[in-house]
Amino acid sequence: MASEENGGGGGFGWGFVIGGLIGFVAGAYLASGPGREQVDTLRSRTIELSGSDFAGRARAAADRARTAVQDPDHPVGRAVRDGITAARKRRQELESRETEGSSEA
């Protein structure tokens, strides 16, 4: 029985070491091979997009969305407020049930 307990942990340890070595080799291959080209392409594309009109359009869209949510007459703003109200009501219901359940115990 003692030999079974000692032998079980060794398999995990060796599996961990072998898995780490395989991961290291795969990472080294991808970093030096086609993965390096993809990273460089992605980096240059990111720089292009951040300096272009795309960033300005994204900021403008975020501002419009923020305005829509904060506007009490906009349907999106109403939907957000209704959702918040419903969530608060449901939370109060659940908390009152929890309080009632704990007082019975």
Is the Cα torsion angle 64, 66, 67, 71 positive or negative in sign?
positive
Q: Which domain holds residue 83?
A: 56-105
pLDDT category of residue 90 using cuts at 50, 70 and 90: very high
When divided into structural domains, the chain yields a total of 1
For residue 3, being part of any structural domain is answered with no
Across 13-17, 37-41, 63-67, the highest mean pLDDT is recorded for 63-67
Q: What is the reported pLDDT for 1?
A: 46
For residue 21, being part of any structural domain is answered with no
Could you give phi then psi for residue 52, rounded to 5 degrees? -95, -175
Q: What is the reported pLDDT for 103?
A: 67
For residue 83, being part of any structural domain is answered with yes
Across 8-17, 51-60, 70-79, the highest mean pLDDT is recorded for 70-79
Q: What is the pTM assigned to this prediction? A: 0.40
Which residue carries 């392409």 as its tokens?
A: 41
For residue 44, being part of any structural domain is answered with no
More confident residue, 17 or 1: 17
